[in-house]
Structure 1
Amino acid sequence: MKPFGYLRPASVTEAVTAVAAHPGARFLGGGTNLVDLMKLGVETPALLVDVTRLPLDRTEPTPEGGLRVGATVRNSDLAAHPLVTERYPVLTQALLAGASGQLRNIATTGGNLLQRTRCPYFQDVSKPCNKRLPGTGCPAREGAHRDLAVLGHSENCVATHPSDLSAALAALDATVVLHGPDGERTVPVTGFHRLPGDNPDQDTVIRPGELITGVVLPPAPGGSAQLYRKVRDRASYAFALVSVAAVLTVRDGRVRHAALAFGGLAHRPWRATAAEAVLRDAPATAETFARAADAELAAARPLRDNAFKVGLARRLTVDVLTELTGRTGPRSA
């Protein structure tokens, strides 16, 4: 076991100051991913700063009619919160699709956003990996990549982001609230996670010392229906091969609002803006939904063993949108 320091700060400011002053320090929330990576030797922090006792565990309505979720709110509590189940069911569905009941009782909102890829090469310190050790290569490109990215990857990394919650937050246009040495700032969830490019070791746009203090959800679009659907290799406790988070409003047989995000396809939750452009004001039909999926997936660059993900994502998108259309209004104009 490698020794490390432990600090339980009394305030957000104290927590941020401690991490900023100790390069390589890590914030500790539920620890469901970080502690696993420490056991594997992937993470070797000299200091853990425990933020679970800070006043960041509340879920409260905002004056604008949205919702603010504290960074240490447990996944199980968030999934069951009355305002979430009523206004943001896609969030509840995504949370309940992830991990197990025991892990959801421990995992936190902020930690879920920050969880790292489950690419087997990243988790095995005996293998080269640009995400873990920049410049060593990406053996996944020619090796075991069936579960890995088909969108947004680079020569340096083909890993996927594993969070179910992040895909739902992306479809809901949520914002991440960060507190750092220079004060507070906000970042849209859609811009929070990075694509790998030449620096796959940098998962997010978080600056040194910054702590996630919460996530803010805008008011849900009026009259919308929401759905999160996840395809995986087994019925539970498995990461997504493909998932779709969708928020859809249909009136008079036409799509009036559509927000889509994919999970399991890219280095970050993938907001499907090309698909949304096709859907906007178009007839709410299976043909339109297929054209929208094709427009988004035209950018896919599958590898040797994961091309099936493209067809799977197409079919899943059409199925999800078709189901939502039946909930929001008539299918014909």
Structure 2
Amino acid sequence: MIPFEYRRPTSAQDAVAMVTARPDAAYLGGGTNLVDHMKLGIAAPQLLVDVSRLPLADVEEIADGGLRIGAGVRNSDLAAHPLVRSRYPALSRALLAGASGQLRNLATTGGNLLQRTRCPYFQDVTTPCNKRDPGTGCSAIGGYLRYHAIFGASEECVATHPSDMAVALAMLDARVVVHNVDGARRIPLADFYRLPGDRPDQDTVLTHGQLITAVELPAPPPAAQSTYRKVRDRASFAFALVSVAAELVLDSGGAEITSARIALGGVAHKPWRATEAEAVLRRAPATTETFMRAARAELAAAKPLDGNAFKVDLTQRTLVSVLRSLTEEASR
């Protein structure tokens, strides 16, 4: 590992000032992603600014009935929090589906949002990768593509976003609270991540020095049912081939869908909000036929690659199955 400086700020403002002043600086939270990348030679910061001890580890209710989650809250603590389990079960289940218990005990909310792709070519510094080294090419194209994107890819990058938590947050209309030298701003999670385009090295809209300090969730709709389901090659320690975070609200008779929110994981460079499927579901009967129409509407824009065409059918089947299970839960 390369030598580096280490500093421990006493406030978010100090942290932002330290990193903003140094182009070669990076924030250190739980370190579960960054330290691996330093060992692999993917990242080489000259200064690490440790934000893990800042007072950013609280989960609290906010005025609109929602929840404010500090960026330093550990994934294990967030998954087990009573308010998360009762009001946002999709988020709790998404967190528990990610990584191992040991990693969840270290990984933070802010760090989870910023984790980078697990594309094998990005992880291998001996291969060209536009995300790791812009302009060198994409080794995945024409290579091993089983885990790669079916939505939103470009000629520069076909990688997928790895986070389970971020998929649930995208479905829940979360807002990311970000601090810079001028103060704080809130970014809807739907606008936080970028598709690769011709700059796949830029995962988010953040600029250097900006620090995530919290995530805010709006209050869930009354009588909402939500869940998260992850389909993977093995039962643990594997990233999603396809995942679905979904929430349904049915009318009082349980026959019609009054609102629907869906996000997909494992299929795009960012958590994929399934707006086409949501539009089909609203004010439609809660039937398997409706769920099939919604899935087909979303997947009409899919562009599978050689080696991952199975994801189209897998996504459809998983989405329909999740929607059916939510309908059954609502009718109990």
TM-score (norm 2): 0.98
1:24 Cα deviation after fit: 2.5
Identity %: 65
Aligned residue number for residue 255 of structure 1:
257
Aligned residue among 257, 282, 285 for 1:283: 285
Q: Which amino acid aligns with 1:314?
A: Q
Q: CA deviation at 1:327?
A: 1.3
Q: Deviations over 1:41-83 (max 9, x none)?
A: 0000011000011000000000111000000000000000010
Instruction: Give the whole-Å Cα distance in 1 for the aligned partners of 2:264 and 2:29.
Output: 26
Q: Partner of 2:140: helix, strand, or coil?
A: helix
Letter in 1 for 2:227: L
SS at match of 1:140: coil
User: How do 1:101-112 residues align onto structure 2 when only pairs under 5 Å count?
Assistant: 101-112=101-112
Structure 2 unaligned blocks of 5 or more:
none
Question: In the alignment, which residue of structure 1 is the partner of 2:186?
Answer: 186
Cα distance in 2, alignment partners of residues 160 and 68 from structure 1: 27
Q: Distance in 1 between matches of 2:24 and 2:234?
A: 36
> Matched residues in 1 for 2:292 and 2:180: separation?
43
1:274-317 CA distances to partner (integer Å, 9 max, x unpaired)? 00000010011111101101111111111000000010000000
Q: Of the candidates 288, 304, 309, which is equivalent to residue 306 of structure 2?
A: 304
Asked if 1:293 is matched to 2:316, the reply is no
Residue identity matched to 1:163: S
Taking the TM superposition and a 5 Å limit, the aligned residue runs for 1:144-223 are: 144-223=144-223
- Taking the aligned partners of 1:207 and 1:22, their CA distance within structure 2 comes to 13
What is the aligned partner in structure 1 of residue 266 from structure 2? 264
Structure 2 residue aligned with 1:315? 317
Name 1:329's counterpart in structure 2.
331
CA distance in 1 between partners of 2:91 and 2:123 (Å): 28
**What is the CA–CA distance in structure 1 between the aligned matches of 2:35 and 2:146, rounded to whole Å?**
26
Q: Match of 1:82?
A: 82
Query: In the alignment, residue 205 of structure 2 is paired with which amino acid?
Result: V
Question: Following the alignment from structure 1 to structure 2, what is the Cα–Cα distance between the partners of residues 102 and 219?
Answer: 30
Find the counterpart in structure 2 of residue 127 from structure 1. 127
What is the CA–CA distance in structure 2 between the aligned matches of 1:289 and 1:48, rounded to whole Å? 48
Aligned residue for 2:26?
26
* Letter of the 1:137 counterpart: G
- Post-superposition offset of 1:141: 1.1
> Unaligned regions of 5+ residues in structure 1, if any?
none
User: Offset of 1:265 from its aligned partner?
Assistant: 0.2
Mapped partners of 1:2, 1:139: distance in 2 = 26
Across the aligned residues of Structure 1 and Structure 2, the Cα RMSD in angstroms comes to 0.8
Are 1:52 and 2:48 counterparts? no
Deviation at 1:273, TM superposition (A): 0.3
Distance 2:34 2:298 in 1: 33
- The ranges of structure 1 where at least 4 consecutive aligned residues each deviate by more than 2 angstroms after the TM superposition are none
Q: Distance in 2 between matches of 1:237 and 1:146?
A: 17
Aligned equivalents of 1:101, 1:205: Cα separation in 2:
30
**2:182 and 2:203 mapped to 1: Cα distance?**
21
User: Is the partner of 1:141 in helix, strand or coil?
Assistant: coil
Aligned amino acid, residue 80 of structure 2: A
Give the TM-score normalised by structure 1. Answer: 0.98
User: What is the CA–CA distance in structure 1 between the aligned matches of 2:237 and 2:129, rounded to whole Å?
Assistant: 25
Residue-pair matches, total:
330
